[in-house]
Structure 1
Amino acid sequence: MISLTKNKKAKLSLLVLSMGLSTHSIAQEEEVESKKPKEHTLETIEVTAERRVENIQKSPLAASVIQGDEISKLGITKVDQLQFAMPSVVVNNFGQGVDFNIRGIGKAEHNTQTTTGVITYRDGVATFPGYYTAEPYYDIARVEVLRGPQGTFAGQNATGGAVFVNSNNPEIGGTYSGYLLGQVGNYRDVATQGALNIPISDTFAARIAFNTENRDSFYDIEGPYTGDDGISMQSGRLSLLWEPSDSLSVLFKSDYNYQDLSAYPTDPVNSPNDMFETTANADLAARDKFSRSVLKIDYTFAGGTILRSVSGYQSGKSLFKADLDGTSVGIRTFRDEVEERIFSQELNLISPDNDGFNWILGAYFQNDDITFPPGQFVTGLPEGNPATEYRLEGENPKETRAVFGQVTLDLSEGLELQVGLRHSRSNTENQIDIVQYGLPLESYQKAEYSKTTGKVSLNWDVNTDHFLYAFAATGYRPGGLNVNVGLGLPEPFDQEEVTSYEFGWKASWLDDHLRTQLTGFHNDYDNFQVRIGYPDIPTFAFQLNTPETTKITGMEAQLQGVFGDFSINAGMSIMRSKLGEFYATDPRVPAPGTTCDPISGPETISCIALEGRDQTYAPDVTFNFSMQYEFMLDKGTLTPRLNFGHVSEQWATLFQNEALGDRIESRNIMGGQVAWQYQDWTVTLYATNLTDRRYVSAINSGLRLAGLPRQYGLRVMKTFF
């Protein structure tokens, strides 16, 4: 216990009083200052995807970066909403995963053998490829979306692009700081979020962050089954940062996510009813539980070279139960509970940022093991009868190894040459036992794939305000194994390869109040992996490769502007795609009993010539803009904001049969908010999908899934320092 004399108490009281008066005086000065006209300029936006911190305006990348404080203003809580905030991005959420495509390239098939073509990294670690995608965005530092193949740094699953989501790090030498946010909205939505920075010592700090949400269902399900109870989500993250010296930094982060989404309700694609009023007679369920731990160690040598190690371990379990006909008439059920574990290790050696010559060397290893426990992967007509069931159990282990590097050489004043290469080898294996309608089958197969990809770029830093670049880049996505249908082992499908040619112009105008980025690109897309009717057995689906090159050409434009208290952000893309010569059987069309060769056909009522058709999930036009104005009040600021995103129509299959529901209509989504900020309090009225536009978020096996309806509510946030 500490004892104070009267004199000491008096001095302490005077000190506290003076601190209070000083704080009041500072607050008054800040309030007066806040009423003065502002001369804003745009802040410098940085990207870290290529292992260095770089100014995006001086980088040969087509990229969109959203800073942490902008994420909630744009109405982005998870991956779905990214498509309404940047050009060339399409996200079709089919529930248990997403078809994420950039420039028409990404993921279009819903199975574990078909890996993603747009890889997502969380805090430097490649995540589950296309699954466990409902992970919320909270306490985020920035989101970087890179368009086009990222074959050097992101590797084999970045043929369309890559997404880098980075959470906030602890701060050493700071104070106890953070924020607390509460939200209430329609559908009885209640959410909380917060973070706390803990300065433990001069060399050690921690950060704790959390996110929770509970909400009623969007759906009204009628029929024998009505069990969609809404959502319940809880997420937490612990971050630890230790910097015992200027040369060593150790950062550890561990996340846990529990997401009970109750169901992914569907109905047939051409149903006339409201998408949120469905029927079902099969048990529905949707639950993901997963964790991720990341250890990042940086050691800086005396000369400035950095040795970096990034280790990741992820473990998840995904439960899914569905009504396969989407009605209460038929009895077609599906359920799976899949487990997945990923271990990854990356090593980088990064040269100092010297003038004239820079380099990066790296190595990568990843083991991905997917397990189908006994009795947990079942589809039936109905389930429970061995003669009408398809059951699958076993493992699908996959492994990837790669080495990569990049050099940057100054050729003359402002002109540089950049060359990057990556050699990847991957293998996949099926150790699967199947009982197909009473017939026991085995699927024990292996396949191995390898490819060298990279990028050659010529960059011209014209002056402070203008930057030009042109490059050729390649990327690849490995092939995989088809699961047995009938007797005999089916052939594996081959790897995809993309060659991209791109030029770009980045500029600053009006004393850096306005920035623009203009990009043109052309992609040669080979061996597109597509799941269609097998030529000899059209009633079943197999994974095949298109035999000829698909051509995808387009342009993109972005701008960011700040003019005093008014700011604007916009993006647009125009794209055309054209499939090469290809014949395929549409399993929905009765086959006349003839075969269908992918290269020669011949064309019949069921063997369809697909040459010249659009690539799937490749809309011709995307457009987005957001704008806000900050009004100065006597007490704080009032900022109204409007967001809009447009994605034109797209095709869900290469057959483009509108009568069978292959066309996904255009999406026009508007959102907005009004935020009042005073000192360390922010109160926000928000709304997403203001017009309550009904749109299809994905089409899967003849069933449609609905996009998010209108949501609105109130957020209150308290920050502390």
Structure 2
Amino acid sequence: MGDGEHWIREKTVLHRGKLTVSAFALAAGMLPTALHAQAAGSGDAVGLSEVVVTAQRREENLQKVPVSVSAFSAAEIKDKGITSVADLENRVPGFTFGRSGSDARPALRGVRTENVAVNGDTTIGYFVDGVYMSRAQQAMLGFVDLERVEIQRGPQGTLYGRNTFGGNISIATAKPKFSGFESGVDLTYGEYNRFRFEGFVNAPLGDTVALRLAGAIERSDGWVQNDYPSGRNLFDDDSQYFRAAVALRPNDALTADFKFDYVRSRGAGGSAFGYKQVGTYYYTPTNQQLFNATPIRLNARPGLRDGVIDAPLTIDAGAPLHRPGNVWRIDTDYPTNLDLRNYGFTANIAYDLGAVTVKSITGYTDFRAARSSDGDFSSSQIAIDYQLTAAETFSQEFQLISDDSGPLTYVAGAYYFRDELRGVFINQQLPRIIRSVTPNLNLPQNGAGFYDEQLPVTVSYAGYAQASYAVTDRLKVTGGIRYTEDRKDFKFANANAVLPLAGTPGVPQGTLITLQTGGIPASAFGTKGAPTNCTYTSLPAPIAGFQCLASNTAVLTGATYATKRFDRVTWRAGVDYQLSDNSLLYASVSTGFRSGGFNSGQSGAAAPTFNPETVTAYEFGSKNRFFDNTLQLNVAAFNNLYSGLQEQRQIPAGGTTITIVENSGRSRARGVEVEFTWQPVEALALGGSFSYLDAEYTRYRDVGLPFATSILVADSSVTAPTILNGVQIAGIGQRRLFAPGYNCSPVAGTGGTGQPPLAIGCDLSGKRIPYSPEYSGSLYAEYEIDLGDAGTLTPYAALTFSGAWYGQAVNSILDKQEAFEKIDLRLTWAPTEKLSLQGFVTNVTDEQTSTRFVYGGGGALQASYAPPRQWGARASVRF
């Protein structure tokens, strides 16, 4: 078979997209299983092709795997213009994709990625060629020349391990082939001056060595327009990607694949936490901020006061929002910057001993992302934020994989992982220029800045095994177990050790913190286990390892915590029954966990450590092919019980906010997911997905709201102190108001030894888990028109939809994304098998949908949003 014939065959097998549909409402989305008509003998038969996945760490037919998994082939990735994880949202049942700046925030079955700082781990595992990526930002890199993308839904704690709490995203890059020389180029041009070049070359270098090179260059202007004259548009692109892969096949038993890749991305990026202000809440009769009172659509960031009364208030509370009805327009004076790079090396080596294969998977990555942004989200000069995330990661895994010759099949392995991280957050306060009024106001800077540097190190060990036994030709039972031990070290420091001092005893001058502040000496971090020299009495109380200034021991400079160990046994048990050759029933129960971690101790609101979160997941499913292999219908019902979900909170720290992590009580997510693909005739492909999800906190108490959980107001009619649960919450002539709609009360133990509680907390039990719409999915249709000698013309249309969801556990009206639908259209002309031309429009109706909400400084809600309508054209050539 010649090179061209090989490419044609691959195109025929994988070309037609799939998607998935709701069995109940024909509401559905792009089934991630390769769908094309494939010749069977005569070449005239219509049928869906077999899809191979590695969800159980071995190659298997998707329809025989008793796991909820969706897979996208190389052809579908190309034909549907999938260039990042974001493009998979709602094409996989129950999968939503949040994003803020360069941070990926996927969500599955009531589990979402909220904390992306270095003190936390990913919630949904991200693997490239079997190697775990430790930072959420890495999920946005390198969708170039892929072989397959799999998304596994539900905990994968046995075969994949820690931090696969909600599921996995697994990427398989295209491997070198020995079948002949191949090459290809894809060129894309689109709106916002988008230009993308993607290409690959595959070259056998003899019978035992093959080489494959792949790369991409992308340039585009930002699709969030900055109206400030010297500001930068957001979400531009200036990126390069390169990959070199070598395959060795010295004999029939040994396979060795080596890969090096590099990515660099620069430009404005998309800010770090959100780029658009939404507003805040005030109790208008007294001009006090009170959560969930009256929504006030203004920018309330600290220091942003323009001297104008902000109705319906009778005070100056901030500045008007810039174009509040348009989420793709901003007005920020500081030019946002992003500089991200990632190096990676992977070695996959396997030796077939006959009954068992021995496999080694080695991975090394060196990742760094630095970004700065306008800290006040306005055209005024007030503050700048800077964030650095760096990770140097090494992992080694050994596996024993049985063959399929007997009733017993198994996978066993040992795993080692080391992750050295660095995270820096700086907030610099500037001399203020308030530009929302004319003439501009010139004011002194709004107090001190903030500096936090964190240096976590994680070393993890694991051993695991999973086996399946065929009791009969149709009945199979599966059991698996894994032991994981994480040893985590953590140190942090602030800028107190390097700032000039004033007064006696000397107090560090936080007003001098800038983006260039750094060079923190090792002594500022303290020493693990060493007696503290600190004498301050506020929270958090100093412990061994805490370090204060020698000249003023009431001033904390940093700390090194004692090593914390998190270990867990996770397991899986399942049974599956092959009703017929084309119908599988399965049931399983499995567990998973996400490791615990540390808070930096910069605030008394944070406990030094937070615990692991755990899940027990029950699933029942069915996988089917009907009507002479033309209809595929997969259904899964699940009930996931969570304990101690790690919740991220923002708390005030000077003119900014810092992030802490705490454990909630209990929660659960239950629902049904449906995928379908139908090819009634060879030219027509239909598909879709649907997810129903009921995800809520069943116990989550004593929670501080993002700001102003309660306020005191004057009330002359009150003649005696107000006592609640034995605690005085208001004095004579005062009345305490709690956040409307919440059940709040004093939190026991927050006032110190022998003191009444100082904190007010609320019961969030019954609130929906963020990023968990009750329903979501998509539908698609594709029809190939035969033009004879002119080739084929293929129109394609896809509808994705979602019910409403909340961006915060508090479930307030400001952080609610309403239900939406989006339409994508594509038209592909393929005059020959080696050439295709495509035009496309995404988000045809220009829907404005959020990808993340977070409360920041001043109690202001900030948000990020998905792209607007965009058009483009692509030419693809294969040689």
**TM-score (norm: length of structure 2):** 0.74
Q: In the alignment, which of 770, 773, 778 is matched to residue 616 of structure 1? A: 770
Q: Distance in 1 between matches of 2:851 and 2:687?
A: 25
Q: Distance in 1 between matches of 2:407 and 2:90?
A: 40
Q: In the alignment, which of 389, 400, 404 is matched to residue 349 of structure 1? A: 400
Matches within 5 A, 1:378-457: 378-382=426-430, 388-435=448-495, 438=510, 439-445=555-561, 446-457=563-574
Q: Deviations over 1:261-307 (max 9, x none)?
A: 41315121245241121011334112211111100000111x33100
Aligned to 1:687: 841
Whether the 8 Å CA contact 2:709–2:761 is kept in 1: the answer is no
SS in structure 1 of the partner of residue 139 of structure 2: coil
Q: Distance in 2 between matches of 1:394 and 1:480?
A: 12
Q: In the alignment, which of 312, 330, 349 is matched to residue 297 of structure 1? A: 349
Whether the 8 Å CA contact 2:429–2:446 is kept in 1: the answer is no
Shift of the 590–519 alpha-carbon distance from structure 1 to 2, 3 Å rule, reads closer
Q: CA deviation at 1:106?
A: 3.2
Q: Deviations over 1:676-703 (max 9, x none)?
A: 1122111111221122222212123321
Q: Distance in 2 between matches of 1:274 and 1:342?
A: 41
More displaced stretch, 511-520 vs 97-106? 97-106
Q: CA deviation at 1:587?
A: 3.2
Matches within 5 A, 1:487-636: 490-532=607-649, 541-547=659-665, 549-563=666-680, 564-581=682-699, 582-589=701-708, 591-592=710-711, 596-597=746-747, 607-634=761-788, 635-636=790-791
Q: CA deviation at 1:599?
A: 11
Shift of the 81–667 alpha-carbon distance from structure 1 to 2, 3 Å rule, reads farther
Aligned to 2:717: none
Aligned to 1:25: none
Q: Say yes or no: does 1:267 pair with 2:276.
A: yes
Q: In the alignment, which of 74, 77, 84 is matched to residue 83 of structure 2? A: 77
Aligned to 1:27: none
Q: Distance in 2 between matches of 1:327 and 1:212?
A: 32
Q: Distance in 2 between matches of 1:666 and 1:599?
A: 41
SS in structure 2 of the partner of residue 70 of structure 1: helix
Q: In the alignment, which of 241, 246, 258 is matched to residue 252 of structure 1? A: 258
Aligned to 1:672: 825
Whether the 8 Å CA contact 2:276–2:863 is kept in 1: the answer is yes
Amino acid in structure 2 at the alignment position of 1:694: Q
Q: CA deviation at 1:386?
A: 11
Q: Distance in 2 between matches of 1:709 and 1:63?
A: 30
Aligned to 2:812: 657
SS in structure 2 of the partner of residue 560 of structure 1: strand
Count of paired positions: 681
Q: Deviations over 1:336-374 (max 9, x none)?
A: 2332111011110111112311111101111111124xx
More displaced stretch, 675-684 vs 515-524? 675-684
Q: CA deviation at 1:569?
A: 1.8
Shift of the 109–41 alpha-carbon distance from structure 1 to 2, 3 Å rule, reads same
Q: CA deviation at 1:533?
A: 6.3
Shift of the 383–44 alpha-carbon distance from structure 1 to 2, 3 Å rule, reads farther
Shift of the 486–697 alpha-carbon distance from structure 1 to 2, 3 Å rule, reads closer
Q: Distance in 1 between matches of 2:345 and 2:446?
A: 41
Whether the 8 Å CA contact 2:469–2:476 is kept in 1: the answer is yes
Q: Distance in 2 between matches of 1:77 and 1:627?
A: 21
Amino acid in structure 2 at the alignment position of 1:156: R
Shift of the 489–101 alpha-carbon distance from structure 1 to 2, 3 Å rule, reads closer
Aligned to 2:288: none
Aligned to 1:705: 864
Q: CA deviation at 1:484?
A: 1.7
Q: Distance in 2 between matches of 1:450 and 1:369?
A: 19
Whether the 8 Å CA contact 1:365–1:402 is kept in 2: the answer is yes
Aligned to 1:363: 414
Structure 1 unaligned runs (5+)? 1-18, 23-32
Q: Distance in 2 between matches of 1:132 and 1:692?
A: 28
Whether the 8 Å CA contact 1:170–1:239 is kept in 2: the answer is yes
Whether the 8 Å CA contact 1:242–1:251 is kept in 2: the answer is yes
Shift of the 290–610 alpha-carbon distance from structure 1 to 2, 3 Å rule, reads same
Whether the 8 Å CA contact 1:418–1:458 is kept in 2: the answer is yes
Q: Distance in 2 between matches of 1:663 and 1:203?
A: 57
Amino acid in structure 1 at the alignment position of 2:871: Y
Q: Distance in 1 between matches of 2:798 and 2:267?
A: 27
Q: Say yes or no: does 1:331 pair with 2:382.
A: yes
Aligned to 2:513: none
Q: Say yes or no: does 1:317 pair with 2:368.
A: yes
Shift of the 588–712 alpha-carbon distance from structure 1 to 2, 3 Å rule, reads same
SS in structure 1 of the partner of residue 233 of structure 2: coil
Shift of the 596–426 alpha-carbon distance from structure 1 to 2, 3 Å rule, reads farther
Percent sequence identity over aligned pairs: 23
Q: Distance in 2 between matches of 1:153 and 1:88?
A: 22
Q: Distance in 2 between matches of 1:330 and 1:473?
A: 52
Q: CA deviation at 1:38?
A: 5.2
Shift of the 37–198 alpha-carbon distance from structure 1 to 2, 3 Å rule, reads closer
SS in structure 2 of the partner of residue 382 of structure 1: strand
Whether the 8 Å CA contact 2:750–2:759 is kept in 1: the answer is no
SS in structure 2 of the partner of residue 72 of structure 1: helix
Q: Distance in 1 between matches of 2:239 and 2:821?
A: 28
Whether the 8 Å CA contact 1:256–1:291 is kept in 2: the answer is yes
Whether the 8 Å CA contact 2:268–2:335 is kept in 1: the answer is no
Q: Considering Cα pairs closer than 8 Å and 6+ residues apart, tell me whether 1 or 2 has the greater RCO.
A: 2
Shift of the 300–322 alpha-carbon distance from structure 1 to 2, 3 Å rule, reads same
Structure 2 unaligned runs (5+)? 6-37, 280-320, 433-444, 497-508, 511-554, 713-728, 730-744, 856-860
Whether the 8 Å CA contact 2:116–2:135 is kept in 1: the answer is no
More displaced stretch, 121-130 vs 138-147? 121-130
More displaced stretch, 385-394 vs 399-408? 385-394
Amino acid in structure 1 at the alignment position of 2:105: D
Q: CA deviation at 1:531?
A: 2.1
SS in structure 1 of the partner of residue 679 of structure 2: strand
Question: Structure 1: which 4+ aligned runs deviate by more than 6 Å?
Answer: 383-386, 533-540, 598-605
Q: Deviations over 1:184-203 (max 9, x none)?
A: 11111111111111010011
Shift of the 487–383 alpha-carbon distance from structure 1 to 2, 3 Å rule, reads farther
Whether the 8 Å CA contact 1:519–1:557 is kept in 2: the answer is yes
Whether the 8 Å CA contact 2:199–2:216 is kept in 1: the answer is yes
Amino acid in structure 1 at the alignment position of 2:804: E
Q: CA deviation at 1:647?
A: 2.4
Q: In the alignment, which of 208, 216, 224 is matched to residue 213 of structure 2? A: 208
Q: Say yes or no: does 1:45 pair with 2:42.
A: no
